[in-house]
Structures are given as structure tokens and as C-alpha cells.
Structure 1
Amino acid sequence: MTISGMTGFGRAEGSLGAWSWAVEARSVNGRNLEVRFRGPPGFEGLERAAREGAQARFQRGQLTVGVQAKRAEGVGAVRLNLEQLERYLAAGAPYVLEGQVAPPSLDGLLALRGVIEAADAVEDPEAQAALEAAMAASIGVALDGLAAGRAEEGRALEGVLAGLVTQIGDLTAKASALAGGQPAIIKARFEKRMTELAGEAVSEERILQEAAAMAVKADVQEELDRLRGHVDAARVLLGTDGGVGRKLDFLTQEFMREANTLCSKSASGALTSVGLDLKASIEQFREQVQNVE
């Protein structure tokens, strides 16, 4: 198993008796799992099947599940739900009277959920249950197809992310090699600073403060050690089953924090240049991580 992306598409079709239907499930990136459902009137129970099916398969992403169903022409009958129609008319009447909206059209009213019902589906509970069960099974098939599409995206993402982690590791090693020259550069700066202060009445405490401040800036070993640790952690996460997107996102923040500190402590143009390249690679990594479940 590999990491999973958050973009994909799945479709399934089915039929039972005079009914036929098609289910489409698609998803895009999202911080949490959000499921939106659209189904035919009279089959409100399908929304639960879609939500539970999505929750069982996915952890993050904005999902849309749609079911389109139709009945063979000339088979069975339909019923106009006048009570539901009256509710819609009553709810919209004040807005029509105030001129805020145009009077509703007949075709618009008939398209509203619950206004037209399949007579036999309502009057025959067993037939309704069997039909909903068959449609729910198709929803599961479409969600499986969506999961397969997200897994395929994850396989492609894994290669890209692994390459960026390697790049970050290489830049960290390069920065480590350059960091060896930090003390000499800082020492030269310290000596120059002491020369500048030679004409002043400088206390020993002031000299110690200057030396301590420059010594702290010269030491970037802690940042480099943490960067190497984050590289190892990223590789472990990329080989872990399940949703790791949030963990990778957090790790990216830690990467950037260390890279920023490295740049702020840099005493040479060469180390600063590597630090900036490091930040650019981390930003690319962050952008790709947004696609991981």
C-alpha cells in the first residue's frame, strides 16, 4: 500500500426492475472529510449510505456523490405530493409579494425534491427497500473506484515527494559542509568589532557579550541535526500506510522553521544561498503535501 491522494473519480451503473441509475463520486483536496450528496427524490436514505461509505474509506477531502435514477417510460405511476408543494409555495410567497423574486414556474416547482414521487416506490416498502439497497451497493462500487483513483494519484505523489526529500537531504549535507567555516568568519568579524571598539572604554562584560552573541550565531549544528532528523521522519512517513497528509504538513512547518533559522545565522553568502535553495525545496514539498490524504 502507498500514500493516497485526494483527487479522483469513480462511476457505477445499475438497474433493478423498471429502474436504472448511475452513480458518480469525485473528490478534491480538503483539510477534513466533507461529503456532499445529491440523489433522486424519494430516496433520501441513500445519503446515509454515501456518507457512511465515504467515512469508511477516506480520511480527508471534499467528496461529491451524485445519483441519477430514472424509471422506464410507461411503467408504474407517479404521484404529486400536494402537501410538499404547498409548503414550498408558502415559504416563497412573501418574497414573491415583495418583488424580491419572480413567481415560480411550474417546471421549477415540479423539479423540487419531494414534489413528484414514484407511487409504487412509496406504496410498496419492500420494493423501495430493495431498490435503495441496490442503489447503495452501486454507491459503494463508485466509492471504490474513487479510492482506486486516489491511490493512483498517491503513487505518483510518492515519487515526487521522495525526490524532494532527497533534494532537501542533499542541501542539508551541503549546508553542513559550509557550516564548518562559520567559526573562522565569525572570529574575523569579532576581531574587527573589537578594533572598532578599541577607542572606547569597553568593559570586559561588553566584550564577553559581543563574543557570546557571535558564538551563538556561528553554531548552526542544532538546526542541521534537526533538518537531518526531519528528512528521516519524512522518509518513514512516505512508507507508512494510511493517511499521513496532516503529519507531513506539520513536518513541513518544522522543515521551514529550521531553514529560516539557518539563514538568519548564516555568516557567509554561500551558506545563505544554500539556505535559500533549501527553503525553495521545502516550499515545493509543502505544495505537493497539500494533495496527500
Structure 2
Amino acid sequence: MISSMTGYGSASRQVSLGAGVLADLQMECRAVNSRFLDLGFRLPDECRAAEPALREMVTQSLGRGKVEFRAAWRINSNGAAASKANPHALGALNQDAVDALYALQEKVQAGFPQAEPMSVSEILRWSGVLSEPRGDEDGWLAATVEAGRAALSALMDSRAAEGQALVKVLLNITQKMREIVAKVEPLIPGYVAQYQEKLTERLSEALAAQAQAKSGAELMERIRQEVVLYAVRIDVAEEFARLKTHLQAVDLALAGKGPVGKRLDFLMQELNREANTLSSKSVAEECTQAALELKLLIEQMREQVQNLE
């Protein structure tokens, strides 16, 4: 299935910290466009051990995109109930650290009598004063990997849904391009014939004035040669044929499975080349306008193709 490179997924798991306390681990997985697969991780220290497993999961599942995992955790709301049942559930007070902090406070207040004493919340936030339950490494590793796998799965579902929406947009654009080609292509022979007629008249007058000594047969042969050469230069049949071939290739790619972004990007270059050639060979306003419309549609496709894996 064709997928977009942008998407989002999230998942949560619980981790036991011990003493009846649970932590809620929230994992987010985001992806944006990138030419290659670019991985980033913003994980708390407790989750760092899971990074290699998360990296392997992504490399086996995705081919392109800038993918970032973010994780955060907090004590479950039921932790308050656990703390009432067990005073040590949310942490143990380090008396040595408290005594050291108190001694420091006394020294500071001796030099600055106007200094306010520390509040209870400030004391508890001080590093080393409260030893909180953190759980074991295996528990964090398992929960992080599970949350990461679920978030990555949600991300892939999101990318697939967006990819299918982009396929519809691109098919709609290719249909518009076909309509332009079908409208203009039958008119080209008439435009070329009219232009050849005008060119024949101008050449006849110019050559007759410059080479009066030449016979009429020689002048007509020279005119015929010039008209044929110019007709070859302004013939756009091949460009229309290649346009239709490239559009068919786009449709086939969109109907397939797996990564198609790079292939479609190449096809956009080929389509744009043919549209530029049509514009340069144009012999009528309608043909010029059609080439411009085709280039605008190709640019719209190019922008959308950048989002596909």
C-alpha cells in the first residue's frame, strides 16, 4: 500500500515503580518528509535502554521519512491513594541530605538574615532529598518497547490513510492533464498547416525578390525544403505521445504497492520536460496556454509527490 511520509501515532503503557505505585508512560511517534530515513529519540533516562529496539522496529517498517519518538511519564493518579495506604510509596526521605541542606540554609541566613527559609515543597524538590521509587530496568524496557511498537503501528496506519488520500489527488490531476491533451492534440495539425501556409507565402515573396534569376521550379523546391524543415522543428506529436506514456506510468505506479516517491519524482521531471518542449514549439495561443496549464498541474503533482514514501 502506498504511504505518505507524514503521520502521527501515540500509545501509553503502565510501569510498576514498586510499593504499589504505577507510572503512566506516554509515547508519541511523529514523521515528516525526508529524502532518507532519519531517526530521532527524545526519551527520559528510564527509557533509554529501549532505543536500539525502537530503531530496529522503524528500519524494518519504513523506508523514508524523518521519524521522531518522544516519551514522558508521570505518577499515576492512583498513586495518591497508594501513598495514603503506604507512607513510603511515593519516596523515602534522605535524612542526611535534609540535615546537610539545613546546615547550608543556616550558613546562608547567617550572612543574609533577611533571606526567607526554604518551604517544604522546595526542600522536597532538592536533588537527593527524596528517593522516589523508579521501578526496575526490565519493566521500563518492556513498557517502552510495547508503547513504541503500538505508536509506530498507529503512525503507519496514519501514513497509509494519508497516502491513499494523496493517490486520489494525484489521479485527479493526471485526469485533468489527459483532458488537456485530448482537447489540444487534434487541433495541432490544423495549426501547423496554417502556419506552414503563412510561412510559404513569406518565403515565396522573400526568395522571389532575392533570386529573380532562378526558375520557378527552383524557388518552389527551396520553399518546400524550408517548410519541411520548419515543420519538423514544430512537430509536437512525439511530445504528446511521451506525455501520455508518462501519465500512464504515473497511474501504474499509483496503482502498485510499496515505496513510489522516488519513481514519481523522476516522472515529474520527465513530464515537465515534455511540457517545456510543447511550450517552446508552440505555433498557436491555444497550444501555449495548454502547455502552461500542464506545467501548473505538474508542479501541483510534484508538491504532492514529495509527501509519498
Q: Look at both structures and tell me which one has the larger radius of gyration over its CA atoms.
A: 2
Q: Structure 1, residues 82-122: CA drift from partner, whole Å, max 9, x if none?
A: xxxxxxxxxxxxxxxxxxxxxxxxxxxx9xxxxxx98976x
Confirm whether residue 155 of structure 1 aligns to residue 159 of structure 2.
no
Q: Structure 1, residues 31-70: CA drift from partner, whole Å, max 9, x if none?
A: 2211111111154332222222222222221111111134
CA distance in 1 between partners of 2:67 and 2:15 (Å): 26
Aligned to 1:69: 73
**Following TM superposition, by how much is the alpha carbon of 1:278 offset from its aligned partner in structure 2, in angstroms?**
1.3
Partner-residue secondary structure (3-state), 1:242: coil
Aligned to 1:124: none
Q: Is the 2:90–2:132 Cα contact (8 Å) retained in structure 1?
A: no
Return the letter of the residue paired with 1:270: E
CA distance in 2 between partners of 1:230 and 1:78 (Å): 72
CA distance in 1 between partners of 2:222 and 2:35 (Å): 51
CA distance in 2 between partners of 1:120 and 1:285 (Å): 51
Pairing 1:114-125 to 2, within 5 Å after superposition: none
Return the letter of the residue paired with 2:25: W
Aligned to 2:200: 191
Partner-residue secondary structure (3-state), 1:291: coil
**Following TM superposition, by how much is the alpha carbon of 1:71 offset from its aligned partner in structure 2, in angstroms?**
5.7
Taking structure 1 as reference, are residues 120 and 78 closer, same or farther at Cα in structure 2, changes over 3 Å only? farther
Aligned to 1:178: 187
Gaps of 5+ in 1: 80-109, 111-116, 122-126
CA distance in 2 between partners of 1:34 and 1:189 (Å): 60
CA distance in 2 between partners of 1:172 and 1:144 (Å): 42
Partner-residue secondary structure (3-state), 1:198: helix
Confirm whether residue 4 of structure 1 aligns to residue 3 of structure 2.
yes
Q: Is the 1:185–1:267 Cα contact (8 Å) retained in structure 2?
A: no
Pairing 1:228-267 to 2, within 5 Å after superposition: 228-267=244-283
Taking structure 1 as reference, are residues 63 and 239 closer, same or farther at Cα in structure 2, changes over 3 Å only? same
CA distance in 2 between partners of 1:256 and 1:153 (Å): 25
**Following TM superposition, by how much is the alpha carbon of 1:186 offset from its aligned partner in structure 2, in angstroms?**
3.3
Q: Of residues 286, 289, 293 in structure 1, which corresponds to 2:302?
A: 286
Aligned to 2:288: 272
Pairing 1:197-236 to 2, within 5 Å after superposition: 197-201=207-211, 210-236=226-252
Partner-residue secondary structure (3-state), 1:181: helix
Pairing 1:77-156 to 2, within 5 Å after superposition: 127-156=136-165
Q: Is the 1:76–1:120 Cα contact (8 Å) retained in structure 2?
A: no
Taking structure 1 as reference, are residues 120 and 8 closer, same or farther at Cα in structure 2, changes over 3 Å only? closer
Tell me the TM-score normalized by structure 2. 0.73
Worse overlay, 199-208 or 278-287: 199-208
CA distance in 2 between partners of 1:148 and 1:77 (Å): 44
CA distance in 2 between partners of 1:20 and 1:250 (Å): 46
Q: Structure 1, residues 110-165: CA drift from partner, whole Å, max 9, x if none?
A: 9xxxxxx98976xxxxx413421221121010010111111111121111111001
Q: Is the 2:43–2:70 Cα contact (8 Å) retained in structure 1?
A: yes
Pairing 1:10-49 to 2, within 5 Å after superposition: 10-18=9-17, 19-49=23-53
Q: Is the 2:40–2:67 Cα contact (8 Å) retained in structure 1?
A: yes
**Following TM superposition, by how much is the alpha carbon of 1:75 offset from its aligned partner in structure 2, in angstroms?**
4.8
**Following TM superposition, by how much is the alpha carbon of 1:207 offset from its aligned partner in structure 2, in angstroms?**
5.5
CA distance in 2 between partners of 1:188 and 1:62 (Å): 58
Partner-residue secondary structure (3-state), 1:17: strand
Tell me the TM-score normalized by structure 1. 0.76
Gaps of 5+ in 2: 18-22, 80-88, 95-124, 126-130
% identical aligned pairs = 38
CA distance in 2 between partners of 1:78 and 1:22 (Å): 28
**Following TM superposition, by how much is the alpha carbon of 1:259 offset from its aligned partner in structure 2, in angstroms?**
0.7
Return the letter of the residue paired with 1:264: S
Q: Is the 2:200–2:223 Cα contact (8 Å) retained in structure 1?
A: no
CA distance in 1 between partners of 2:134 and 2:305 (Å): 50
Partner-residue secondary structure (3-state), 2:308: coil
Return the letter of the residue paired with 2:201: K
Cα RMSD after superposing both structures: 3.0
Aligned to 2:176: 167
CA distance in 1 between partners of 2:91 and 2:144 (Å): 19
